[in-house]
């Protein structure tokens, strides 16, 4: 079994909207974030990935939780992946400190958007519900 460790951020604006990133691998909406580089600290991963996917600079406020999901080999999108993968997903709360909403180019996401909590897209990865729940934002 392969292991992928990733870090994500729950970010809200002054209107209470949540920032989501559109993952092209699904395609589906996800939390902004992604895989750790070798030797990288998860906090650094979350900050870097949010910047890459959304254009925003953030500070990490707190650790919200850690989610784990096993993806069968048949559902993996990686070319040549013939074994299951465990996705270990570290979720933080973060606050925007700068930057401008910008779409990622040539990455794993193609855009980021703000959503009201009662209008979260149904085409989303399971991480969205987990992250919003541990942030106290999901029913």
Q: What residue ranges define each of the domains in the chain, with the CATH number in brackets?
A: 2-134 (3.90.79.10)
**pLDDT for residue 80:** 67
Tell whether the model's pLDDT for residue 31 goes beyond 70: yes
Percent of the chain residues topping a pLDDT of 90: 83
Mean pLDDT of 3-9: 97
Q: What tens digit of pLDDT does each residue of 64-121 get?
A: 999 999 989 888 877 667 899 999 999 999 999 999 999 998 889 999 999 999 999 9
- The pLDDT score that the predictor gives to residue 73 is 87
Q: Order across the sheet with 56-71: list the strands.
A: 33-35, 2-10, 85-99, 56-71
Distances in whole angstroms, Cα of residue 109 to Cα of each of 19, 82, 124: 13, 24, 13
The mean per-residue pLDDT over the stretch 52-59 comes to 97
Query: Of 90, 80, 85, which is closest to residue 127 (Cα–Cα)?
Result: 90
pTM of the predicted model, to two decimals? 0.94
């Amino acid at each position: 079994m392969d292991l992928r460790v990733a870090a994500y951020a729950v970010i809200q604006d002054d209107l209470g909207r949540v920032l989501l990133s559109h993952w092209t691998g699904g395609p589906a909406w996800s939390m902004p974030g992604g895989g750790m580089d070798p030797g990288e600290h998860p906090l650094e991963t979350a900050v870097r990935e949010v910047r890459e996917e959304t254009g925003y600079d953030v500070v990490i406020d707190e650790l919200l939780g850690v989610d784990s999901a096993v993806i069968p080999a048949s559902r993996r999108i990686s070319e040549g992946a013939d074994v299951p993968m465990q996705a270990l997903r570290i979720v933080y709360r973060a606050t925007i400190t700068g930057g401008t909403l910008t779409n990622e180019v040539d990455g794993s996401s193609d855009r980021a958007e703000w959503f009201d909590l009662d209008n979260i897209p149904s085409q989303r990865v399971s991480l969205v519900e987990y992250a919003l729940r541990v942030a106290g934002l999901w029913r």
